[in-house]
Structure 1
Amino acid sequence: MTESKLILDGARVAQAIKDELAGKVQGLTKRGITPCLVTILVGDDPASATYVRMKGNACKRLGIESRRVELDRETTTEQLLAAIRELNADPSVHGILLQHPVPHHIDERAAFEAIDLAKDVDGVTTLGFAQNAFGMAAYPSCTPAAIVAILDYYRIPIEGKHAVVVGRSPILGKPVSLMLLNRNATVTICHSKTQQLDRIVGAGDLVVAAVGKPKFIPGSWIKEGAVVLDAGYNPGNIGDVDYEACLERAGAITPVPAGVGPVTIAMLLKHTVDAAEKRTSSFES
């Protein structure tokens, strides 16, 4: 029953993005500029450490400099802000990524806001969010950007479609909703207080799962032929949708892993390279 289904291969999309970036990185290197991404890790969460390592390895394979700033779990908000300000002032740094979540005692929003907008390659500042709302963000949040990149790569129409986004986080659910709205989709945002969630999801032509709960969306909720984009990643390599059940009804679907995740990292690399190019252009103009 699944032979006609379109599996949205994130690894393939990510490679296409990185292939395009390779030439840009080489061009910058010839001019004596190495794009640089700094990742800040606070505490010793093993999952966060794994994500940081994956991002670092992806940078190195493309010729992007990857630096890691590791801070103790006892780090205060002010100490974290000081570290971010130091990176803001470093002209060799083009992108800053604060790995989240941070320990509970830290004001995460204050830390995000401290990142220079020109180096906010993960789209976490409120100003970056506002620019995204107006369709003018230089660096939108990476996972939402990845979702749109996957749709574009496979030439899946967005305009005129009913997109249902399950989740309203400020770095995923909300920004991807705005990006789809700016592409002329009709968007419904669902959350923990939404009533008749099954009926709403069942009306979606595009369904974005961004709720952070394993197999939260069953196959019975999915409309026949709908496009399912699973942005969840839970322990055991499990997404937010019941993949096998949703596969039976969906027309196209992202797997977990190898779906949205690889493209998210590729978009982070793209934003870092773009930031390096913009900084170089501003100095040369």
Structure 2
Amino acid sequence: YAVPSWGPNFQESLYSLFNLAIRIIALDTFKQALTASAYSFLGTTGTHANNMDVLLKIYDHIVHYCFCLLYMKDGHNPGSVEAAGKANPQYQASGRLTKDRIKFLKHNAYPQQYQDLIDSKATSDDELDPKGSRVNGRAVCFIAKQPERSAKAEAFICKLDKLCELAAQLQSQQHTDLCVVPPANEQNISHYLAIPFGMPLDYFDPQFYNTIPHHMHAWAAVRSVTILPDPALSFTDHPDERLSDSAFNKKYLPGVLDSGYWFIDLDELDAAITAQDEDDTEENTE
């Protein structure tokens, strides 16, 4: 077709001569691939290879609706589409890591409060070493810093991951990548800044927590704690690891609340908002 690179022009109508030519090229090439069984591994039969009505509808929807939306999105925020595309594998990796952590905690009968600390949104995105380093054939990943995570939570997660890695090695298994925690002053900030909600209070760094909007306070954290005052004692069969959630909170929650957290209860916040609305209504009535 003597076209150096395929691509529609979204600044022109779907029915412009250029876009019509681009559509014909795409559909004709696709039909040739279908009839040549290029997609047989997907279970295609080629039944609709010559059904132009169906092919045109599929093409117009994918190219001039789905792709056009991405084009417009990138126009408003350059680079956002590429960033989102790169993020998908990382989100999937975070999801797998979250499941692995919870599976380990359940399998080893660790308390529910430990599982409450594990959430996919609270899982950092790992960045492959730009130098392409490998150890025993495994790609090296650097763990990024979650800005909202407290030092206690960071230490807890690092210790959990070391135990998961050890368990995998003892079972002649290994994780796909080798995760490395850089020194704090060299650790990059995670690309995903959306914070998890409904987390135990001690997951959050108090300075970070106190700076977020009031209503986010109420959604972000619940009135509970999960980590021993010294996170190094986690996973050591410390007697307090066997406490029930209520007993653990009774013992340690007051100290955490007094350590600088400006905790806002959701029910209390809603009650305050309702009271303020009622006062405003009375003033307007008068």
TM over 0.5: no
- Normalized per residue, the structure richer in strand is 1
TM-score range, shorter chain: under 0.3
Q: TM-score, normalised by structure 2?
A: 0.25
For the pair shown, the structure with the greater C-alpha radius of gyration is: 2
Q: TM-score, normalised by structure 1?
A: 0.25
